[in-house]
Amino acid sequence: MYEKFGEFDSAEELNRAAAAQLAEGDTGAVLALAEENGIDPEDAQDYIDGAAAELATPLMAALGKLAVEKRELAISGILGDWAEHIEEACALDPAMAAAVRRKGKSLQMAMAALIGFAFEHKVRVSDKIVNVTRVTQNSRQQAMRGPLYLGVPDRAQAKRLLRAYYLGEGGQEQ
């Protein structure tokens, strides 16, 4: 994922690398650095042209990292919703944006924490619901067979778990 320039620990570190490349006159490297870190090419060009003082703000750096990770992990469905929780938290809390950008913190591990919680807190779905549920399997509609257990953290639980992972706040809900 960070094959060319490596993983940066902060927006400041990312900006120092961009400044060094720009000082060398290597605008191609600045654009490659931006791409590898999920920074919009137009924002990178604004930085190269002098219209922006830095390549990325802390929020841009965090959201860029998340964008790269989401693409690499093929995030979709409920995992996409959980990733949006992280993006929203970054937009609302500079400490969260900084934490997301930290070296060693990853969307992969954040998702693993949520999935682990979901598995550990699954509940049995009523047979009344399962018995009327139709599913497509092998291109055929059929009745779902139970028992069925589901576990998905609600928004508040997901927020607590994500803050615990990225910021070390709170803890695991029991």
Q: What integer pLDDT is reported at residue 172 of this predicted model?
A: 44
Model pTM score: 0.88
Q: What integer pLDDT is reported at residue 170 of this predicted model?
A: 61
Residues 6+ apart with CB under 8 A from 159: 85, 89
Please report the DSSP string for 146-174 in residue order. Answer: S--EE----HHHHHHHHHHHHH--S----
User: Does residue 87 contact residue 66 with C-beta atoms inside 8 Å?
Assistant: yes
User: Does residue 44 contact residue 55 with C-beta atoms inside 8 Å?
Assistant: yes
Using DSSP's 3-state secondary structure scheme, residue 19 falls into helix
Residues 6+ apart with CB under 8 A from 58: 10, 11, 94, 97, 98, 101
Q: Where are the domains of the chain?
A: 1-56, 59-170
> Over the chain (174 residues), what is each successive 10-residue block's mean pLDDT?
88 97 96 97 97 97 98 96 97 97 96 97 96 93 94 93 90 42
Using DSSP's 3-state secondary structure scheme, residue 135 falls into strand
Which single residue is written with the structure tokens 């490297």?
29
Using DSSP's 3-state secondary structure scheme, residue 142 falls into strand
Q: What integer pLDDT is reported at residue 78 of this predicted model?
A: 94
